[in-house]
């Protein structure tokens, strides 16, 4: 019996886990830095950072990536010193530690690309080794509180930092309580475990420590978890979080509760600080990491099913038309359709990533910008639990990074300018996000900087008329030639590379981009993007003898075009108008936009679409129905055309173009050069 396992097989899983650990390490290092700037300690983040590096080191050793083992080892050593100094890290230590994280990250990328990891960067070990811990926490030993005297058995199992935390928390106005959770087989079967309780309780306050206590319990068990926390929550809420009785709550600042059972083992003075400190619930708990390629594979299989179902549907329709008895077959088909929709929802859910996770590196970006620009900036993220399809998130991130970078680089004034303008010296950039109904997500990137100077932008763009609305201003900012000139952006406030942002949001994702800006007060960009771009419900129609599809969500209304209600007013340069919702809406014959007909006669059907806030109708020949499609993006830049979101197979094997009508109309309306401009 010999082991035949090759640990190198774990490389893909290793890479995924290390990436996650690096994200956590970055987050905690930034938190430590923020505390260091205020002269405060951040023991919890120092410990988390240490743990991330420690795990990276162990895993890297297992898969034999020596350079990462070495880097992690040096970082771990300097963090151990910081931990022993009560979680204090001098600001000067942050840069070498970030350098260490970057070095690990670089080597992870090399491994992911199939290359060997480069050796440890020259001098890094020395820079990490020479880091000095900051001064030790003042008076932590003296702060051992009277608070816990009565709970001696438990108090002996707390480290000095935990005692201090409980004591300071209690004097800071919060209640220090002990919440007892008693696990049991029946509770575990209901999903009520120490992991779930811990997670719930951590959301109700600061969980300082969880101590297992052995001994008979009210429910007949032999184990109690004592959760020590600082909280404002009521006893009822706390009990609820622990699954109700036999859970109990005792206030630690009240007179003595009964002592803990004597059988509780004592660890007094034995455990090292890094092993006995409390932790936040790890987000990865109860979740499974899956490689993206496997999710893509599941989507591919689903796509094949969706296409096949369309074929089946067509075959059954043909049979029915030929007079065959298809009643049962149709019932099965209906059930099959429902199952496929459920399956689709399940696969899409698997592909969802939290927006908060996607944005994990933004604080790091802002930190770098703060240093390079010398501006004081506060980044606020308010993204809740909103989720997006991985494919959307991957495309969207560069646009958001671009907007945040622009905000700091160009929109925010220097501290001196802000003071002169009667503003707080620290600028603010806020990124918020919330899901809307019907499969769309709104994101806003807002700053309190100088705002966009519309007159300066118009001047630079060579436009006589100063734009009067945010969106008109955005049109100018998004001109490709315009935005590449640095000197323009310094006067405009927010111009740099906006064409890239619009290309991602509007052309690639089929979303919307809006701007609201007030001179001197700041700007807000609104990005509206679909939750997913891979599987969608589409309207299929015919135009000039060919079939096309558009996303249902992008069409506001389908209508019959009555030729008598179409007008061509003088001065409209031949553009026909049709009355919809009490307004005259341009009616664009789609066949002509697609270059497939020169005829200007009014087509019989119209699709009403909102294009940058304005309604536009597209005339088509025939509506063929609605069906679920799998969108295949046209990746080749030679065939990528504005207004074409991708292609799909409707089940007969013939490729069908999926149109983005809003982008198509905008590209064509921007003039003869429009297409080239937008496609560049």
Partner 1 sequence: MPEVLVVDDSKVMRDMVVACLRPYPGLGFTHASSGLEAIERLSLNPYDLLVLDLNMPDIGGIEVVEFVRGQDRLRQLPIIIVTTRGDEASRARALSAGADRFMTKPFTPDAILSEAKRLLEEKRA
Residues of the shown chain interacting with partner 1 in the complex, contacts defined by CB under 8 A: 1-5, 7, 9-10, 13-14, 17, 51, 54-55, 57-59, 61-62, 64, 183-185, 188, 193-195, 198, 210-212, 214, 221-223, 225, 263-265, 267, 270-272, 274-276, 278-279, 282, 284-285, 288-289
Complex with partner 1: residue 268 or 486, whichever CB lies closer: 268
Looking at residue 123, the DSSP 8-state letter turns out to be T
Q: How far is the CB of 280 from partner 1 (least distance, A)?
A: 8
Q: State residue 504 phi and psi, 5-degree precision.
A: -65, -50
Complex with partner 1: residue 211 or 408, whichever CB lies closer: 211
Complex with partner 1: residue 21 or 590, whichever CB lies closer: 21
**Strand, coil or helix: what is 566?**
strand
Complex with partner 1: residue 278 or 651, whichever CB lies closer: 278
Q: How far is the CB of 623 from partner 1 (least distance, A)?
A: 50
Residue pair 497/402 in contact by the 8 Å Cβ criterion: yes
Q: How far is the CB of 133 from partner 1 (least distance, A)?
A: 20
Q: Which helix (H) or strand (E) holds 339?
A: helix 327-350
Residue pair 577/536 in contact by the 8 Å Cβ criterion: no
Residue pair 614/624 in contact by the 8 Å Cβ criterion: no
Complex with partner 1: residue 223 or 295, whichever CB lies closer: 223
Residue 359's nearest CA partner among 411, 396, 304, 410 is: 396
Q: How far is the CB of 48 from partner 1 (least distance, A)?
A: 9
Complex with partner 1: residue 23 or 471, whichever CB lies closer: 23
Complex with partner 1: residue 290 or 583, whichever CB lies closer: 290
**Strand, coil or helix: what is 43?**
helix
Complex with partner 1: residue 285 or 425, whichever CB lies closer: 285
Beta carbons within 10 angstroms of residue 427's beta carbon: 27
Alpha helices in 508-583 (DSSP H): none
Counting Cβ atoms within 10 Å, is residue 489 exposed (0-12), middle (13-18) or buried (19+)?
buried
Complex with partner 1: residue 182 or 396, whichever CB lies closer: 182
Q: How far is the CB of 206 from partner 1 (least distance, A)?
A: 15
Q: What dihedral angle (degrees, nearest 10) is formed by the CA atoms of 312, 314, 315, 317?
A: 120
Q: How far is the CB of 61 from partner 1 (least distance, A)?
A: 4
Residue pair 222/263 in contact by the 8 Å Cβ criterion: no
Q: How far is the CB of 70 from partner 1 (least distance, A)?
A: 13
Q: How far is the CB of 264 from partner 1 (least distance, A)?
A: 8
Complex with partner 1: residue 221 or 604, whichever CB lies closer: 221
Distance CA 420, CA 341 (A): 59
DSSP assignment of 124-186: HHHHHHTPPPPPPPTTTTTT--STTGGGHHHHTTS-HHHHHHHHHHHHTTPEEEEEEE---HH
Complex with partner 1: residue 61 or 472, whichever CB lies closer: 61
Q: 66-84 and 43-62 are packed helices; what angle lies between their axes, rounded to 10 degrees? A: 160
Q: How far is the CB of 201 from partner 1 (least distance, A)?
A: 12
Beta carbons within 10 angstroms of residue 589's beta carbon: 24
Looking at residue 469, the DSSP 8-state letter turns out to be S
Q: How far is the CB of 443 from partner 1 (least distance, A)?
A: 31
Q: How far is the CB of 183 from partner 1 (least distance, A)?
A: 5
Q: How far is the CB of 259 from partner 1 (least distance, A)?
A: 17
Tokens 């003039």 label which residue? 671
Structure tokens at 287: 């979740």
Complex with partner 1: residue 185 or 464, whichever CB lies closer: 185
Report how far apart the first and last C-alpha atoms of the chain are (Å, whole number): 62
Complex with partner 1: residue 209 or 460, whichever CB lies closer: 209
CB half-sphere exposure, 440, CA atoms < 13 A = 18
Tallying the residues shown for the chain, one arrives at: 680
562: Cβ contacts below 8 Å, ≥ 6 apart: none
Q: How far is the CB of 620 from partner 1 (least distance, A)?
A: 52
Based on DSSP, count helices (H) and strands (E) in the chain, helices before strands. Answer: 25, 22
Distance CA 183, CA 242 (A): 10
């Amino acid at each position: 019996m010999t082991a035949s396992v090759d640990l190198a097989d774990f490389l893909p899983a290793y890479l995924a886990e290390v990436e996650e650990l690096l994200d956590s390490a970055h987050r905690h290092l930034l938190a430590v830095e923020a505390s260091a700037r205020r002269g405060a300690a951040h023991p919890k983040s120092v410990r988390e950072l240490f743990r991330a590096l420690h795990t990276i080191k162990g895993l890297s050793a297992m898969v034999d990536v020596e350079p990462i083992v070495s880097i992690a080892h040096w970082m771990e050593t300097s963090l151990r010193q910081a931990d022993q100094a009560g979680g204090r890290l001098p600001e000067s230590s942050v840069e070498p530690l970030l350098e260490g994280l970057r070095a690990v990250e670089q080597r992870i990328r090399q491994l992911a690309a199939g290359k060997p990891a480069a050796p440890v960067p020259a001098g890094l070990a020395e820079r990490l080794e020479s880091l000095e811990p900051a001064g030790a926490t003042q008076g932590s030993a003296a702060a051992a509180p009277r608070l816990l005297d009565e709970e001696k058995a438990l108090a002996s199992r707390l480290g000095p930092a935990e005692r201090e935390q409980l004591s300071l928390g209690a004097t800071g106005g919060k209640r220090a309580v002990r919440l007892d959770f008693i696990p049991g087989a029946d509770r575990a079967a209901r999903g009520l475990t120490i992991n779930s309780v811990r997670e719930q309780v951590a959301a109700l306050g600061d969980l300082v420590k969880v101590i297992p206590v052995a001994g008979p319990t009210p429910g007949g068990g032999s184990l109690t978890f004592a959760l020590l926390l600082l909280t404002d929550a009521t006893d009822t809420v706390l009990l609820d979080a622990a699954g109700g009785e036999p859970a109990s709550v005792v206030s630690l600042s009240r007179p003595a509760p009964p002592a803990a059972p004597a059988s509780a083992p004592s660890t007094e003075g034995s455990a090292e600080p890094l092993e006995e400190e409390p932790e936040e619930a790890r987000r990865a708990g109860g979740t499974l990491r899956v490689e993206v390629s496997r999710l893509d594979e599941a989507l591919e299989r689903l796509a094949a099913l969706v296409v096949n179902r369309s074929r089946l549907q067509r075959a059954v329709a043909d049979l029915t038309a030929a007079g065959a008895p298809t009643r049962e077959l149709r019932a099965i088909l209906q059930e099959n359709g429902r199952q496929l929709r459920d399956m689709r929802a399940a696969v899409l859910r698997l592909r969802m990533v939290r927006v908060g996770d996607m944005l994990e590196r933004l604080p790091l970006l802002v930190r770098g910008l703060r240093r390079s620009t010398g501006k004081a900036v506060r980044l606020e993220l308010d993204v809740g639990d909103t989720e997006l399809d991985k494919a959307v998130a991957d495309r969207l991130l560069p646009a958001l990074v671009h907007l945040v970078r622009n905000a700091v680089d160009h929109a925010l004034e220097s501290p001196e300018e802000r003071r002169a303008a009667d503003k707080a010296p620290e600028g603010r950039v806020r990124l918020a996000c919330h899901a809307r109904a019907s499969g769309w997500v709104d994101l806003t990137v807002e700053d309190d900087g100088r705002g966009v100077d519309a007159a300066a932008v118009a001047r630079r763009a060579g436009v006589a008329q100063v734009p009067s609305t945010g969106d008109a201003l955005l049109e100018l900012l998004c001109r490709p030639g315009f935005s590449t000139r640095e000197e323009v952006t310094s006067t405009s406030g927010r111009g740099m590379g906006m064409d890239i942002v619009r290309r991602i949001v509007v052309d690639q994702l089929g979303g919307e981009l809006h701007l609201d800006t007030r001179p001197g007060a700041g700007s807000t960009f609104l990005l509206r993007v679909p939750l997913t771009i891979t599987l969608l419900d589409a309207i299929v129609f015919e135009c000039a003898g060919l079939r096309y599809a558009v996303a249902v969500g992008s069409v506001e209304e389908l209508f019959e075009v009555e030729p008598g209600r179409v007008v061509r007013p003088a001065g409209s340069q031949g553009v026909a108008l049709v009355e919809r919702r009490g307004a005259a809406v341009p009616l664009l014959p789609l066949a002509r936009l697609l270059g497939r007909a020169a005829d200007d006669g009014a087509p019989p059907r119209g699709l009403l679409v909102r294009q940058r806030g304005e309604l536009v109708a597209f005339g088509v020949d025939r509506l063929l129905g609605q069906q679920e499609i799998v969108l295949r993006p046209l990746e080749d830049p030679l065939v990528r055309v504005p207004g074409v979101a991708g292609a799909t197979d409707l089940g007969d094997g013939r490729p069908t173009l999926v149109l983005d009508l809003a982008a198509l109309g905008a590209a064509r309306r921007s003039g003869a050069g429009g297409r080239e401009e937008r496609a560049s």
